[in-house]
């Protein structure tokens, strides 16, 4: 495995379901991110983790719950979502430097019915 991998690639869930998105980075980076990409809107930063500690929560509703057990793994736990939460959820990683570029995974396409 190389780069940043996300699973599942596609997920359909009802509003009462609980599911999780998984991300793993193989780049030796020490920061990981969740971004949301909705149609015709800019990428929105959701959460940032440095060395598995959360450093940013961009006013994300509590129905999204992140977990970062170590610097290589990141989860996004989903529960009681709304149809407007349907989007592409992108995981990214970077080195902790002022110029650290982000490297994205392929994304998890979420549809909430």
Residues making contact with another protein (CB under 8 A):
31, 33, 40-43, 45, 48, 50, 55-56, 90, 94, 96-107
Compute the least distance from the CB of residue 48 to another protein, in Å. Answer: 5
In the complex with another protein, the residue whose CB is nearer, 39 or 69, is 39
Q: Is 56 helix (H, G, I), strand (E, B) or coil?
A: strand
In the complex with another protein, the residue whose CB is nearer, 75 or 104, is 104
In the complex with another protein, the residue whose CB is nearer, 9 or 77, is 9
The C-alpha atoms of residue 37 and residue 29 are separated, in whole angstroms, by 22
Compute the least distance from the CB of residue 12 to another protein, in Å. Answer: 17
In the complex with another protein, the residue whose CB is nearer, 10 or 16, is 10
Compute the least distance from the CB of residue 52 to another protein, in Å. Answer: 14
Read off φ and ψ for residue 29, nearest 5 degrees: -75, 165
Q: Is 112 helix (H, G, I), strand (E, B) or coil?
A: strand
Q: What is the dihedral of CA 24, 70, 52, 73, to 10 degrees?
A: 10
Compute the least distance from the CB of residue 65 to another protein, in Å. Answer: 20
Laid out side by side, the sheet with 18-25 consists of 4-7, 18-25, 73-79, 64-70
């Amino acid at each position: 495995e190389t780069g940043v991998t996300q699973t599942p690639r596609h997920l359909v869930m009802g509003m009462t379901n609980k599911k999780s998105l998984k991300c793993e980075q193989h780049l030796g980076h020490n920061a990981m991110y969740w971004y949301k990409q909705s149609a015709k809107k800019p990428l929105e930063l959701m959460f940032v983790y440095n060395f598995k500690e959360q450093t940013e929560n961009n006013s994300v509703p509590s129905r999204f719950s992140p977990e970062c057990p170590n610097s290589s793994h990141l989860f996004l736990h989903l529960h009681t979502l709304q149809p407007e939460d349907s989007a592409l959820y992108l995981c990214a990683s970077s080195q902790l430097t002022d110029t650290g570029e982000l490297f994205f995974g392929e994304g998890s396409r979420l549809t909430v019915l």
